[in-house]
């Protein structure tokens, strides 16, 4: 699937993703990779004016899902089985960029890692690893 096909698919099957306005965008997909952006918005802030952990977690999880869909097509029931996050530094008041790389894409499991950056910065603010379960073909 292309980035625009995935965005259209997500709009159809996960309209709640954009509740309160669209802030998540699929910028590009490639072989076993995806790059997403979460625009800076006050709905994503926590006390202290920084982007919240749940926002970063959602972006990392979505990035893994998008990278997988780009390879296997629109499989709605591919689901997260584990995610681990390491919050490394406070993100800036800017959009978040997620760079995802799948480490393994098997018939039943996919494993990947995601690095999150504040837009325009080179230091990682959050690193995540995750596993997805891919349903058997029916």
Rounded (5°) CA angle 90-130-24: 60
Burial class (CB in 10 A: 0-12, 13-18, 19+), 47: exposed
Mean pLDDT of the chain: 94
pLDDT band for 45, please (50, 70, 90 cuts): confident
**pTM for the whole thing?**
0.94
Mean pLDDT of 59-65: 97
Report DSSP state, residue 23. Answer: -
pLDDT for residue 47: 85
Is a pLDDT exceeding 50 seen at residue 138? no
Is a pLDDT exceeding 60 seen at residue 96? yes
Where exactly are the structural domains of the chain? 3-133
pLDDT for residue 43: 86
What is the Cα Rg of the chain in Å? 14
Count how many Cα atoms sit within 13 Å of the Cα of residue 21 in the half-sphere of its side chain: 8
User: Which of 18-22, 31-35, 86-90 comes out lowest in average pLDDT?
Assistant: 18-22
Q: Choose the CATH number for 3-133 among 3.10.129.10, 3.90.45.10, 3.40.50.2300, 2.30.140.10.
A: 3.10.129.10
Could you give phi then psi for residue 28, rounded to 5 degrees? -165, 155
Q: Tell how strand 109-118 and strand 24-30 pair up.
A: unpaired
Query: In terms of Cα–Cα distance, which of 82, 76, 70 is closest to 109?
Result: 82
């Amino acid at each position: 699937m292309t980035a625009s096909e995935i965005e259209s698919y997500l709009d159809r099957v996960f309209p709640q993703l954009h509740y309160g306005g669209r802030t998540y965008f699929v910028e590009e997909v490639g072989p076993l990779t995806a790059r997403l952006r979460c625009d800076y918005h006050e709905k994503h802030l926590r006390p202290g004016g920084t982007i919240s952990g749940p926002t970063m977690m959602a972006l990392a999880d979505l990035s893994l899902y998008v990278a997988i869909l780009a390879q296997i097509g629109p499989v709605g029931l591919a689901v997260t089985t584990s995610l681990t996050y390491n919050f490394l530094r406070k993100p800036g008041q800017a959009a978040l960029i997620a760079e995802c790389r799948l480490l393994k894409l098997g018939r039943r499991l996919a494993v990947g890692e995601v690095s999150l950056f504040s837009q325009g910065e080179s230091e990682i603010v959050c690193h995540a690893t995750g596993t997805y379960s891919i349903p058997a073909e029916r």
